Amino acid sequence: MKLWFALFTVAFAADWKDQAVIHLESSPHALLKPVPVRAVTFTPGFWQSRQKVTAESSLPSLLALLEQNGYIDNFRRLKNKDLPRRGPLYTDSDVYKWMEAAAWALHTGPHPQLESRLNELIELVLSVQEPSGYLNTWHIGDREKQRFQLQETNHELYCLGHWLQAGYAVYRYNGDRRLLDAGAKFVDYLLTIGGPGKQPLLTGHPELELALAELYRITGEKKYLDFAAYLFSGVEKDRLKITPQRASYMFSGIPFTSRDKFEGHAVRALYAATGAADYWLETGDAAYKKTLDTLWRDLVSSKMFVTGGVGSRAAGETFGDAYELPNRQAYTESCAAIANWIFQQRLLAGSGNARYTAVMERALYNGINSGMSLSGNMYCYRNPLASAGEKIRNPWYNTLCCPPNLQRTFMSLGGYFYSTSKDNGLWLHFYDSHRLDWRLPSGAAIKAEMKTGMPWRGDVQYTLTPASATSMTLHLRIPEWSLQTKVSINGVPYPGKVAPNTYLALKRTWKPGDVVTMSFDMTPHRVAANPRVPETYGKVSIQRGPFLYCLEQPDVNGASVFDIFLNPGAPLNPVTRKDKFEGEITVLESRGLSLPAPATGAALYTYGQPAQPIKPLPLTLVPYYTFNNRGDAPFTVWLPQTK
Ligand SMILES: [Zn+2]
């Protein structure tokens, strides 16, 4: 009996260390099981640099701003009433998201300063939680009576969702459950006071749903998954008097399975869909799957920007109509692109279909990546596809959702690179230089090392080191942009077809030291939009590898970026440059024609044909994510082409 208990304790103790960003090991409908964040270590290359800047510059500087702006004092104030409550009512979530990002940073390597500040914050949160489990720094004092009374706007459950997610990241770092358990105590309190026949509950800003699914995965307690189902059920629609307009805007309050399109607030909608996908991964509920498929098609066929960003309208931060994808006016909040990323991650886990990974890659390298400056301390709330030079990057926003959301995404990124599957399969989703140290479903240890010029160059050398020769299937994602991919194993070319936008399954006995070499087709593409998108009709965007490109004013001599036409036949030559930004990037050099600059005072309208571009000029395109790292300059993704 004692021995059994000891074994159980060891198994449980080891479990936290092996949990991924989402812990799908026991999820019956997850075909793919993500690997833990710590299993992947980036080596010199693109993402190692982005993680370094996030951990060393972005996280410390944002924490200083959270202090300066009183967002952490909002918690201290619960013990020291003399401190003022500062910022909007949802600031708790910003602190929790910073904590989550810091915890993921610790998974990637030692960061003693971050660790000690994180521990201080954990102690602070624990010390101000009410005995019931409730904690929200806004709804205290005179506002205490408003608790759960203004659920469409008060963000109490939204903040709790982020609290739980910070708790999971800490738990998975060192096994410390205190933050997680404290969040679960709040959920238990909600279950005591709320639900059918009690206080009706609603996520005015969905987010808690996905955190509840994860709490179920960690604890095995079905009440948490049932709580998510309750929130998705719309059962409180009448008691809460949810109007159709509010149900549309919040993407909440009516049955999730009654949805047939994305609408309303983009982040709310995609967080709700992500939580619903989590629910489906646990239950296999067919009505949820049908709704998720319908929503996915709606998104990718008519509502997603070429950057992977979403949310067309500033008013309400909402989706627009189908094909309403403006360039300068695009809202495309960083959080919405991140929400798209995690939504697709769940659908990928349930299917192994590369179409979801393609969207993830598009969002990650473009619409998410743009959100944080190269220096790591300037952030985009909006990520438009063109700008006339207005200020887009800022170090701080009172509504601070995006900066720590970007940080947690970058710091947990390794956990998105791989999955395993029950065919003793190892799935590789993205390409960058890294080392893997994990195990196969059979239990056999596996190490791997990738050396690659990706995402700038298409060469990949991938060395697999299973503990001993083992039969396994390596599933390599072939990106949709690589039209001709070469794959060799130990120097022998793979004889079959290597189709873009699929996973290539290589089943064999893999031996230590086996080498897969790959060569991706890095030919730049002109990308056209569906002609029903009015803003981009007759224009093209340029993509090379996973990166979308843009034309930015500092790279245009003597013309406006909005006057320039691309020559359809002109080559797009990749050139490695070290002088444009700190570090190496690949620019694309081409030729175009410029419109004659209109004379000062020229009429707005004239009879006759529009002006024609006549002045030839060289063009240099830079990756979209680098926009406005050289000041608030005009830029554009979509370029008209000459005939
Ligand atoms: Zn945001």
pLDDT of the residue at 558: 81
Per DSSP, the residues of 137-195 read SSSSGGGGGGTTTSTTT--HHHHHHHHHHHHHHHHHHH---HHHHHHHHHHHHHHHHBS
- Phi and psi at residue 459, to the nearest 5°: -85, 135
- Whole-number Å distance, alpha carbon 174 to ligand 1 midpoint, is 28
Pairwise CA distance, residues 479 & 472, whole Å:
22
Contact, 622 vs 555, CB < 8 A? yes
- Phi and psi at residue 358, to the nearest 5°: -60, -40
- Whole-number Å distance, alpha carbon 352 to ligand 1 midpoint, is 29
- Whole-number Å distance, alpha carbon 143 to ligand 1 midpoint, is 25
Prediction pTM value = 0.97
Pairwise CA distance, residues 58 & 360, whole Å:
23
Pairwise CA distance, residues 306 & 385, whole Å:
9
- Phi and psi at residue 470, to the nearest 5°: -150, 145
- Whole-number Å distance, alpha carbon 361 to ligand 1 midpoint, is 19
Query: Is the per-residue pLDDT at 46 higher than 60?
Result: yes
Domain boundaries, given as residue ranges, for the chain? 2-416, 419-519, 525-597+607-640
632 band by pLDDT with thresholds 50, 70 and 90: very high
**Where are any strands of DSSP class E within 520-582?**
525-527, 539-544, 547-552, 564-566, 573-577
The Cα-based distances of 459 to 47, 454, 500, 517, 520 in angstroms read 16, 7, 16, 8, 7
Determine what percent of the chain is predicted with pLDDT higher than 90: 94
- Whole-number Å distance, alpha carbon 338 to ligand 1 midpoint, is 9
- Whole-number Å distance, alpha carbon 64 to ligand 1 midpoint, is 19
- Whole-number Å distance, alpha carbon 639 to ligand 1 midpoint, is 28
Pairwise CA distance, residues 66 & 360, whole Å:
30
- Whole-number Å distance, alpha carbon 187 to ligand 1 midpoint, is 24
- Phi and psi at residue 493, to the nearest 5°: -60, 140
Surrounding residues of ion ligand 1, Cβ less than 5 A: 333, 335, 401-402
Lowest mean pLDDT among 252-266, 429-443, 605-619: 605-619
- Whole-number Å distance, alpha carbon 333 to ligand 1 midpoint, is 6
Query: Is the per-residue pLDDT at 598 higher than 90?
Result: no
- Whole-number Å distance, alpha carbon 472 to ligand 1 midpoint, is 41
Query: Is the per-residue pLDDT at 1 higher than 70?
Result: no
Pairwise CA distance, residues 70 & 347, whole Å:
38
Q: Would you tell me how many other CB atoms lie within 10 Å of the CB of residue 556? A: 22
Lowest mean pLDDT among 195-199, 455-459, 556-560: 556-560
- Whole-number Å distance, alpha carbon 200 to ligand 1 midpoint, is 27
Contact, 550 vs 564, CB < 8 A? no
- Whole-number Å distance, alpha carbon 190 to ligand 1 midpoint, is 26
Q: Mean pLDDT over residues 85-101, rounded?
A: 98
The architecture (CATH level 2) of 419-519 comes to: Sandwich (2.60)
pLDDT of the residue at 5: 43
Pairwise CA distance, residues 529 & 306, whole Å:
8
Q: Would you tell me how many other CB atoms lie within 10 Å of the CB of residue 70? A: 16
- Whole-number Å distance, alpha carbon 550 to ligand 1 midpoint, is 23
Pairwise CA distance, residues 554 & 632, whole Å:
10
- Whole-number Å distance, alpha carbon 379 to ligand 1 midpoint, is 10
- Whole-number Å distance, alpha carbon 261 to ligand 1 midpoint, is 22
Determine what percent of the chain is predicted with pLDDT higher than 70: 98
pLDDT of the residue at 14: 59
- Both tokens assigned to 638: 């979509």
- Phi and psi at residue 336, to the nearest 5°: -70, -40
- Whole-number Å distance, alpha carbon 336 to ligand 1 midpoint, is 7
- Whole-number Å distance, alpha carbon 587 to ligand 1 midpoint, is 29
- Whole-number Å distance, alpha carbon 93 to ligand 1 midpoint, is 11
- Whole-number Å distance, alpha carbon 621 to ligand 1 midpoint, is 28
Q: Which helix (H) or strand (E) holds 594?
A: strand 585-594
- Whole-number Å distance, alpha carbon 6 to ligand 1 midpoint, is 45
Contact, 556 vs 615, CB < 8 A? no
Task: Indicate if 419-519 has the same CATH topology as 2-416.
Answer: no
Q: How do residues 286-305 score in pLDDT, each as one tens digit?
A: 999 999 999 999 999 999 99
Give the 3-state DSSP-derived string for 444-498, with helices as H, strands as E and coil as C: CEEEEEEEECCCCCCEEEEEEEECCCEEEEEEEEECCCCCCCEEEECCEECCCCC
Query: Is the per-residue pLDDT at 10 higher than 60?
Result: no
Q: What integer best gives the mean pLDDT of the chain?
A: 96
Contact, 546 vs 479, CB < 8 A? yes
Q: How do residues 419-439 score in pLDDT, each as one tens digit?
A: 999 999 999 999 999 999 999
Is 589 strand, coil or helix?
A: strand
Pairwise CA distance, residues 421 & 29, whole Å:
12
- Whole-number Å distance, alpha carbon 631 to ligand 1 midpoint, is 22
Pairwise CA distance, residues 15 & 582, whole Å:
41
Q: Mean pLDDT over residues 152-160, rounded?
A: 96
Angle (CA) 337-343-344 rounded to 5° is 90
- Both tokens assigned to 84: 């003022």
- Both tokens assigned to 180: 């997680």
**Percentage helix, strand, coil for the chain under 3-state DSSP, each rounded to 5:** 40, 20, 40
- Whole-number Å distance, alpha carbon 382 to ligand 1 midpoint, is 8
- Whole-number Å distance, alpha carbon 339 to ligand 1 midpoint, is 10
9 band by pLDDT with thresholds 50, 70 and 90: very low
Q: Mean pLDDT over residues 224-245, rounded?
A: 97
Q: Domain 2-416 has what CATH class?
A: mainly alpha
Q: How do residues 548-576 score in pLDDT, each as one tens digit?
A: 999 999 999 888 999 999 998 899 999 99
- Whole-number Å distance, alpha carbon 537 to ligand 1 midpoint, is 29
- Both tokens assigned to 391: 């200020």
Q: Which residue has the tokens 């030079």?
A: 389
pLDDT of the residue at 298: 98
Q: Mean pLDDT over residues 253-262, rounded?
A: 98
Contact, 544 vs 458, CB < 8 A? no
- Whole-number Å distance, alpha carbon 296 to ligand 1 midpoint, is 21
- Whole-number Å distance, alpha carbon 335 to ligand 1 midpoint, is 4
582 band by pLDDT with thresholds 50, 70 and 90: confident
Lowest mean pLDDT among 18-22, 157-161, 582-586, 625-629: 582-586
- Whole-number Å distance, alpha carbon 381 to ligand 1 midpoint, is 6
- Whole-number Å distance, alpha carbon 579 to ligand 1 midpoint, is 32
Q: Which of 517, 512, 491 is nearest to 447 (CA)?
A: 512
Q: Which of 281, 286, 279 is nearest to 228 (CA)?
A: 279
Q: Which residue has the tokens 């998510």?
A: 228
Is 634 strand, coil or helix?
A: coil
11 band by pLDDT with thresholds 50, 70 and 90: very low
- Whole-number Å distance, alpha carbon 517 to ligand 1 midpoint, is 39
- Alpha-carbon dihedral angle through residues 258, 260, 264, 266, given to the nearest 10 degrees: 110
Q: How do residues 324-349 score in pLDDT, each as one tens digit?
A: 999 999 999 999 999 999 999 999 99
Helices (H) and strands (E) in the chain, counts: 16, 24
Is 251 strand, coil or helix?
A: coil
- Whole-number Å distance, alpha carbon 329 to ligand 1 midpoint, is 17
- Whole-number Å distance, alpha carbon 215 to ligand 1 midpoint, is 24
Q: Per residue in 235-252, is it b (16+ CB within 10 Å) or e — as a string?
A: bbbeebebeeebbbbbbb
Q: What letter would DSSP give residue 612?
A: -
13 band by pLDDT with thresholds 50, 70 and 90: very low
The Cα-based distances of 527 to 151, 308, 637 in angstroms read 43, 14, 11
pLDDT of the residue at 568: 87
Contacts of 573-576 spanning 24+ positions with Cβ under 8 A: 574/522, 574/524, 574/544, 576/456
The Cα-based distances of 72 to 95, 171, 403 in angstroms read 7, 21, 16
- Whole-number Å distance, alpha carbon 402 to ligand 1 midpoint, is 3
- Whole-number Å distance, alpha carbon 337 to ligand 1 midpoint, is 9
- Whole-number Å distance, alpha carbon 410 to ligand 1 midpoint, is 15
Query: Is the per-residue pLDDT at 7 higher than 80?
Result: no
- Phi and psi at residue 259, to the nearest 5°: -75, 140
Q: How do residues 359-418 score in pLDDT, each as one tens digit?
A: 999 999 999 999 999 999 999 999 999 999 999 999 999 999 999 999 999 999 999 999
pLDDT of the residue at 610: 87
- Whole-number Å distance, alpha carbon 128 to ligand 1 midpoint, is 26
